[in-house]
């Protein structure tokens, strides 16, 4: 029952918000709804074993409304459920025109995301995959920046092409399933020879690679992150990119193991190129949002590579890093949003000396930023350590090249801290004041998560252990 409620609460409250009048109470309503989802997902985390829900949906097509919440799902649902109240609370002071529609669409996005992480029926998965995309399209196009329409459209068409190719792949596998069903287990046991697996791999992987995004498919991402309203950007980069990674682990690896195996070198190479490439570009950025966007591409590249090297330690690293990256990047976005709201600029060249004016913000931000560099004692260290360990077992040279991105990450992150917070105050930052209490609270919570997970990651590893073992048990 919990999995169903996890989808229903944001879905129904999202639809309900649309009917409310535009008033401050919509914010409160959205916040309460997202807190309810958080409580539920915590309940799921503390329930032992996988949770399931199953109901008839499309009997003619062999598709059922079936949900499965195993360790990985629990972890990602928790991430989603934490993100939304955090985002709502951190942007509580922001004023949106037509706020009812804004919060309604945000909650619908949450429903779509949770659905993606829970679906154990391929067609249902595809439904939620798209459901998560449509509200984001409207969020970015209505409340985004100056170039929002063109940029969001590029993002939409890009991901839509991926989705459609995935649909073809789904139908192809469906035609080969023994019992003509979309159920996950039937998909995993479809009769596909090596040649067919390669074709299916290509169809699915393009969709997931666009969503993550992996190197040659990433061009939509920096623009979309920059132009979206920051609340949406947080969700996009904190949670939505995990859809691609999740889908590879949940669907692609068990479904077409031969296809995955055949493409290991190819994908790992692409990911590593993407890591270095994105890190180098990040160094040259003058805009906080774009820097975080490129840094995010680099981190996602590492996760993708660690999946495809296919060893247990790497996959464990991916699991924990999915959660941690979400927390860290949302923290960074919150600071970016605060600076933009307060000072009206995101350019490093127009910032400086903010630490004198807002010391609390500076401390909290530095912790988040160091977590972004994966310093020991922060959460990201655990994940990156495990993932590099996995890469190392696969190929020493690949691991060494990928390791360069850590150094590059330190370069651009420290550079960012320095340019925003230290040095002398400049024209725009003279008038700066300390951030409001709600942002301080939210950032403090995130910092606590960062430190706790950095020191004691074992519960999170235990939580996702069942998924990892299941994947490696099947070979």
Partner 1 sequence: MNAIIVSTLLGVVMMFSGILLKNKSLLKYIAIGGLLLLLVANFCQTYGCYTIVVNSHDLLRFQKFGLFFNSIAIAATLIYVILSGKDIETAGNYPAEYFALLFFVLCGVSILCGFNSLLMLFLGIEILSIPLYILTGSDKRNLKSNEASLKYFLMGAFTAGIMLMGIALIYGATGTFGIVSPSIITAPNGAVSAPKASFLEIAGLLLLFVSMCFKVSAAPFHFWTPDVYDGAPSVFTSFMATIVKAAGFFAFIRLLEGQSAILGPTWKILLSFVIIATLLVGNITAVFQQSVKRMLAYSSIAQAGFMLFALYAANDVAKEGILLYATAYSLATIGIFAVLIKMKDYTLDGFNGLAKTEPVLALTTTICLLSLSGIPLTAGFFAKYYMLASVIKTGSGLWLVIIAVLFAAVSVYYYFRVIQSMYFKEGVAETSEITGGFKAGLIFVAALIVLIGVLPSVLLNYFYF
Name residue, tokens 């590029």: 154
Report 176-205 residues binding partner 1 (CB under 8 A).
199, 203
Q: Is residue 168 near partner 1 by the rule CB under 8 A?
A: yes
Q: Which of 16, 20, 36, 171 binds partner 1 (CB under 8 A)?
A: 171
Nearer to partner 1, 32 or 150 (CB): 150
Piece of 126-134, 300-308, 357-365, 414-422 that binds partner 1 (CB under 8 A): 126-134
Q: Which two tokens stand for residue 320?
A: 């924990």
Nearer to partner 1, 228 or 413 (CB): 228
Q: Is residue 8 near partner 1 by the rule CB under 8 A?
A: no
CA distance readout (Å), 96 to 26, 34, 278: 11, 18, 32
Q: Is residue 142 near partner 1 by the rule CB under 8 A?
A: yes
Q: Which of 28, 39, 43, 175 binds partner 1 (CB under 8 A)?
A: 175
Q: Which two tokens stand for residue 373?
A: 């560099």
What are the two backbone dihedrals, phi and then psi, of residue 58, each rounded to the nearest 5 degrees? -125, 80
User: Is 217 within 8 Å of 165 (Cβ atoms)?
Assistant: no
Q: Which of 22, 54, 130, 287 binds partner 1 (CB under 8 A)?
A: 130
- Label residue 218 exposed, middle or buried (CB < 10 Å: 0-12, 13-18, 19+): buried
Shortest distance, CB of residue 198 to partner 1, whole angstroms? 13
Nearer to partner 1, 148 or 346 (CB): 148
Q: Give the separation between CA 92 and CA 170, rounded to whole angstroms.
A: 40
Piece of 58-66, 292-300, 427-435, 451-459 that binds partner 1 (CB under 8 A): 58-66
Q: Give the separation between CA 32 and CA 34, rounded to whole angstroms.
A: 5
- 183 secondary structure, DSSP code: B
Report 60-79 residues binding partner 1 (CB under 8 A).
60
- 59 secondary structure, DSSP code: G
Region of 432 on the Ramachandran plot (φ > 0 left; ψ -120 to 50 alpha; else beta) = beta
Q: Is residue 43 near partner 1 by the rule CB under 8 A?
A: no
Region of 96 on the Ramachandran plot (φ > 0 left; ψ -120 to 50 alpha; else beta) = beta
Nearest to 253 by CA among 296, 213, 302, 312: 312
Largest Cα span, the chain: 69
Q: Is residue 156 near partner 1 by the rule CB under 8 A?
A: yes
Q: Is residue 445 near partner 1 by the rule CB under 8 A?
A: no
Q: Is residue 217 near partner 1 by the rule CB under 8 A?
A: no
CA distance readout (Å), 269 to 213, 261, 299: 14, 14, 15
Q: Is residue 344 near partner 1 by the rule CB under 8 A?
A: no
Q: Which two tokens stand for residue 216?
A: 């040659």
- Label residue 462 exposed, middle or buried (CB < 10 Å: 0-12, 13-18, 19+): exposed
Q: Is residue 80 near partner 1 by the rule CB under 8 A?
A: no
Nearer to partner 1, 57 or 92 (CB): 57
Q: Give the separation between CA 342 and CA 358, rounded to whole angstroms.
A: 12
Shortest distance, CB of residue 108 to partner 1, whole angstroms? 11
- Other CB atoms within a 10 A radius of the CB of residue 418 amount to 12
Piece of 165-173, 298-306, 331-339, 389-397 that binds partner 1 (CB under 8 A): 165-173
Piece of 77-85, 167-175, 410-418, 433-441 that binds partner 1 (CB under 8 A): 167-175
Counting residues that bind partner 1 (by CB under 8 A) gives 29
Shortest distance, CB of residue 181 to partner 1, whole angstroms? 13
When computed from its CA atoms, the radius of gyration of the chain, rounded to whole angstroms, is 21
Shortest distance, CB of residue 130 to partner 1, whole angstroms? 4
Q: Is residue 96 near partner 1 by the rule CB under 8 A?
A: no
Shortest distance, CB of residue 61 to partner 1, whole angstroms? 8
Shortest distance, CB of residue 150 to partner 1, whole angstroms? 10
Q: List, in order, residues 6 or more apart from 60 with CB less than 8 Å away.
A: none
Piece of 124-132, 241-249, 285-293, 401-409 that binds partner 1 (CB under 8 A): 124-132
Q: Is residue 134 near partner 1 by the rule CB under 8 A?
A: yes
Shortest distance, CB of residue 192 to partner 1, whole angstroms? 13
Q: Is residue 161 near partner 1 by the rule CB under 8 A?
A: yes
Nearer to partner 1, 133 or 362 (CB): 133
Is the dihedral angle over the CA atoms 162, 164, 170, 171 positive or is it negative? negative
Q: Is residue 208 near partner 1 by the rule CB under 8 A?
A: no
Q: Give the separation between CA 87 and CA 92, rounded to whole angstroms.
A: 8
Q: Which two tokens stand for residue 403?
A: 């390791």
Q: Which of 88, 103, 117, 127 binds partner 1 (CB under 8 A)?
A: 127
Residues that bind partner 1 (CB under 8 A): 57-60, 126-127, 130-131, 134, 138, 141-142, 148-149, 153, 156-157, 160-161, 164-165, 167-168, 171-172, 174-175, 199, 203
């Amino acid at each position: 029952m919990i999995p169903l409620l996890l989808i229903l609460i944001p879905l129904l409250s999202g639809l309900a918000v649309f009917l409310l009048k535009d008033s401050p109470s919509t914010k409160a309503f959205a916040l309460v709804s997202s807190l309810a989802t958080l409580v539920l997902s915590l309940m799921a985390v503390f329930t032992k074993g996988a949770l399931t829900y199953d109901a008839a949906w499309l009997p003619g097509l062999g598709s059922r409304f079936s949900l499965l919440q195993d360790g990985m799902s629990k972890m990602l649902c928790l991430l989603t459920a934490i993100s939304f109240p955090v985002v709502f609370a951190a942007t509580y002071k922001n004023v949106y025109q037509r706020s009812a529609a804004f919060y309604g669409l945000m909650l619908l996005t949450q429903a779509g995301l949770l659905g993606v992480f829970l679906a154990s029926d391929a067609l249902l998965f595809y439904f939620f995959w798209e459901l998560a995309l449509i509200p984001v399209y409207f969020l970015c196009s209505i409340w985004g920046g100056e170039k929002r329409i063109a940029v969001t459209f590029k993002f939409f068409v890009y991901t839509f092409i991926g989705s459609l190719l995935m649909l073809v792949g789904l139908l192809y596998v469906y035609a080969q399933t023994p019992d003509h069903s979309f159920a996950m287990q039937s998909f995993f046991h479809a009769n596909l020879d090596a040649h067919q697996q390669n074709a299916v791999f290509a169809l699915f992987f393009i969709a997931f690679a666009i969503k993550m995004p992996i190197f040659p498919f990433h061009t939509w991402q920096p623009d979309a992150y920059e132009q979206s309203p920051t609340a949406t950007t947080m969700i996009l980069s904190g949670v939505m990119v995990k859809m691609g990674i999740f889908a590879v682990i949940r669907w692609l690896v068990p479904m077409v193991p031969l296809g995955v195996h055949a493409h290991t070198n190819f994908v790992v190479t692409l990911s590593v190129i993407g890591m270095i490439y994105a890190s180098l570009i990040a160094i040259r950025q003058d805009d906080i949002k774009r820097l975080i966007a490129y840094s995010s591409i680099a981190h996602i590249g590492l996760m993708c590579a660690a999946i495809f090297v296919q060893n247990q330690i790497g996959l464990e690293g991916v699991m924990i890093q999915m959660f941690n990256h979400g927390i860290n990047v949302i923290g960074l976005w919150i600071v970016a949003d605060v600076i933009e709201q307060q000072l009206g600029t995101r350019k490093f060249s127009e910032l400086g000396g903010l630490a004198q004016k807002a010391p609390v913000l500076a401390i909290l931000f530095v912790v988040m930023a160091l977590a972004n560099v994966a310093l020991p004692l922060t959460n990201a260290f655990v994940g990156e350590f495990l993932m590099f360990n996995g890469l190392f077992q696969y190929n020493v040279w690949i691991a060494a090249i990928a390791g360069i991105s850590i150094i590059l990450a330190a370069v651009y992150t420290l550079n960012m801290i320095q340019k925003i917070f230290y040095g002398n105050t400049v024209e725009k930052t003279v008038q700066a004041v300390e951030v409001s209490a709600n942002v301080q609270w939210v950032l403090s919570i995130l910092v606590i998560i960062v430190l706790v997970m950095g020191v004691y990651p074992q519960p999170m590893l235990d939580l996702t252990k069942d998924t990892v073992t299941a994947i490696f048990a099947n070979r």
